[in-house]
Structure 1
Amino acid sequence: MPQENSRRDMIKKVATVALSTSAFTSLSNRVSAHEKTVDEKLKGKINHSVCAWCYNMPLNDLCKAAKEIGLTSIDLVDPKDFNILQKHGMMTAMVSSNGPEWGITKGFNNVAHHDKLEEYFRHYIDETAKAGFSNLICFSGNRNGLSDEQGIANCTKGLQRIIGYAEKKKVNLVMELLNSKVNHPDYQCDHTAWGVELCKSVGSPNFKLLYDIYHMQIMEGDIIRNIRDHQQYIAHYHTGGVPGRHEIDDTQELYYPAIMKAIYDTGFTGHVAQEFVPAHPNPIASLKQAIGICDIA
């Protein structure tokens, strides 16, 4: 019996050491990944960008930090700030059109807005083309009682008023897919299938979708299959941790390396932009970590 107890004690000690070692290694890896500076050259399979609004810092400072990591783009920059990008040798892979009058809730699904939206977007198309950028964001607007079919019909009418001008200027109008469950109640372009049907209805290679992985995980999941099935209608991607829209590390439910591989395997050559709101006290460390996660070999 004493010998058996001794054996059991030894097993317990070994298990405790193994567990402690495993926990320490896991913690060390997480800390190392979080604090890691992306010193090595980015691998080149994914073109990385980052959304300006997520970082509570001047655009000048974000440009400097992003450039040090190896990024060449800052997303959702308004034309009035293009000079800041140019000063740092940066570009924007997605131009913001979210001005004081128009935004997410008021968009192309309301025919009463079409006249003003045409004038507004012609200006933004001109500014985007003048700077040599390609993608300009747009939104469906909230449903406000519209059926999905009527929303597509209304958006098509409005977008077809300006899409020829966008084609002439070599600018893509890109409608963002957003969730209506948590962040944007009543927003109409809230499912991939709806966005794809709108692309087909507009019928122009210069109208595509911004596939926001965070938003679509909340609304429908099935991220990789939807990317594979509908890649021809997607011009751009955004990231974000689910739930909470924070870091895309092991605190959330999506496995981004597999998603990035799926995006790369479709032949996508556009940009993937980080659009999470950092919870870590050092937001640039979080950005470095996210780029490292998405920079697949």
Structure 2
Amino acid sequence: MKRRTFLNTTTMAGTALGISPKLFASEPWTNAHKFNLKYAPHLGMFKNMAGEDPIAQLHFMADQGFTAFEDNEMKNRPIELQERMKDVMAKRGLQMGVFVAHKIYWKEPNLASGNENLREEFLSQIKASVEVAKRVNAKWMTVVPGHVDLRQDMGYQTAHVVESLKRASDILEPHEMVMVLEPLNFRNHPGLFLSESPQAYEICKAVDSPSCKILFDIYHQQIQEGNLIPNIEACWDEIAYFQIGDNPGRKEPTTGEINYKNVFKFIHGKGYHGILGMEHGNSIEGAAGEQAVIDAYKATDQFL
């Protein structure tokens, strides 16, 4: 019996008996791939090969050679599960990536409006996210400033956003945590305040804090502005985190138009030691599609 099949079978049996799946975890495969960068899968990406249990999925990721993990929904998971996931990540050498830090206003303005009540709501959610980050050993959390305020000039909106982020930075700096601002493309998310990397760069310079940096999502910025490598270069000193997705389709590298091997080579050549979140879907359903994701990262990681 293949090791993977054995682990899946014993994990399911253990779960049925009320036994923690992590009791069945063993040492990583000796032939686990050695990636040059810290690519971070998310829950559900390998559910057919690893099973539905989040703990089993973390073990599977580590067995494949991945050294990081991200989870947008971590803040909403039960505390007991957060703690178990933290323990497994520590045991298996998986560094925690981003989780979403606050309620995102997709269709109405919040931070751009300057409304003090909405600002206080945001800041209270940042404080709560600090506790989650402590619990799961996270350093980065995603922030999206929300929808534009069509009743205000962009200059006023920017000033409101900067002030909110300065106050959030005051909360995060003592803990050496970082909120990463994510510009989102106008096709998938029309009407949002933050859409381009130069805009995020300008805001980070205005906030002037080590706790306010850029999340450069390569999929979003390919759609929004293209010119990926020059824009990454121009924003470099404010980028703290990357996310991945090919275009069109927002699936794994090699399925679209982005030359990910060259992009990864450039990022690696800049001396980047951070995380690249695999925030995309699988182009093929089932276990075959999950293996295709693993193979795509092995292929695009061969840039040295």
Shorter-chain TM-score range: 0.7 to 0.9
Alignment partner of 2:111: what SS?
coil
Structure 2 equivalent of residue 59 of structure 1? 54
Q: Is 1:240 aligned to 2:206, yes or no?
A: no
Q: Contact 1:54/1:275 (CA < 8 Å) preserved in 2? A: no
Q: Is 1:269 aligned to 2:270, yes or no?
A: no
* TM-score normalised to structure 2 length: 0.77
Distance 1:203 1:95 in 2: 22
Distance 2:44 2:143 in 1: 16
- Per the TM alignment, residue 176 of structure 1 is displaced from its structure 2 partner at its CA by 1.0
- Residues 164 and 69 of structure 1, relative CA distance in 2, 3 Å threshold: same
Q: Contact 1:214/1:245 (CA < 8 Å) preserved in 2? A: yes
Distance 1:48 1:288 in 2: 11
Distance 2:138 2:161 in 1: 24
Q: Contact 2:83/2:136 (CA < 8 Å) preserved in 1? A: no
62-71 or 163-172, larger mean C-alpha shift: 62-71
Q: Is 1:185 aligned to 2:219, yes or no?
A: no
- Per the TM alignment, residue 162 of structure 1 is displaced from its structure 2 partner at its CA by 2.1
Distance 1:132 1:264 in 2: 24
CA offsets, 1:48-89, max 9 Å, x none?
212336666543343132112112322124143422422423
| AA aligned opposite 1:64 | H
Distance 1:131 1:247 in 2: 26
What RMSD over aligned residues (CA atoms) do the two structures have, in Å? 2.3
Distance 1:238 1:53 in 2: 17
Q: Contact 1:129/1:170 (CA < 8 Å) preserved in 2? A: no
Q: Contact 2:32/2:63 (CA < 8 Å) preserved in 1? A: no
Alignment partner of 1:198: what SS?
helix
Which residues in structure 2 correspond to 1:184-223 (within 5 Å)? Answer: 184-223=189-228
- Residues 40 and 87 of structure 1, relative CA distance in 2, 3 Å threshold: closer
Q: Higher RCO, 1 or 2 (CA under 8 Å, sep at least 6)?
A: 1
Give the alignment partner of residue 68 of structure 1, picking from 58, 63, 83.
63
Q: Contact 2:219/2:245 (CA < 8 Å) preserved in 1? A: yes
What are the ranges of 5 or more consecutive residues in structure 1 without an aligned counterpart?
1-36
What are the ranges of 5 or more consecutive residues in structure 2 without an aligned counterpart?
1-28
Percent sequence identity over aligned pairs:
20
- Residues 229 and 286 of structure 1, relative CA distance in 2, 3 Å threshold: same
For these two proteins, the number of residue pairs brought into alignment is: 255
Runs of at least 4 residues of structure 1 off by over 6 A?
none
Which residues in structure 2 correspond to 1:1-297 (within 5 Å)? Answer: 39-43=31-35, 45-52=36-43, 57-76=52-71, 77-79=73-75, 80=77, 81-89=81-89, 90-98=94-102, 102-103=103-104, 105=106, 107-112=110-115, 113-145=118-150, 146-181=152-187, 183-249=188-254, 251-281=255-285, 282=287, 283-295=289-301, 296-297=303-304
Distance 2:44 2:206 in 1: 32
* TM-score normalised to structure 1 length: 0.78
78-87 or 107-116, larger mean C-alpha shift: 78-87
Distance 1:201 1:53 in 2: 37
- Per the TM alignment, residue 40 of structure 1 is displaced from its structure 2 partner at its CA by 4.7
Distance 1:292 1:38 in 2: 16
107-116 or 271-280, larger mean C-alpha shift: 107-116
Distance 2:45 2:149 in 1: 28
Q: Contact 1:217/1:223 (CA < 8 Å) preserved in 2? A: yes
Which has more radius of gyration? Answer: 1
Q: Contact 2:253/2:297 (CA < 8 Å) preserved in 1? A: no
Q: Contact 1:121/1:162 (CA < 8 Å) preserved in 2? A: yes
Q: Contact 2:86/2:137 (CA < 8 Å) preserved in 1? A: no
Alignment partner of 1:88: what SS?
helix
76-85 or 167-176, larger mean C-alpha shift: 76-85
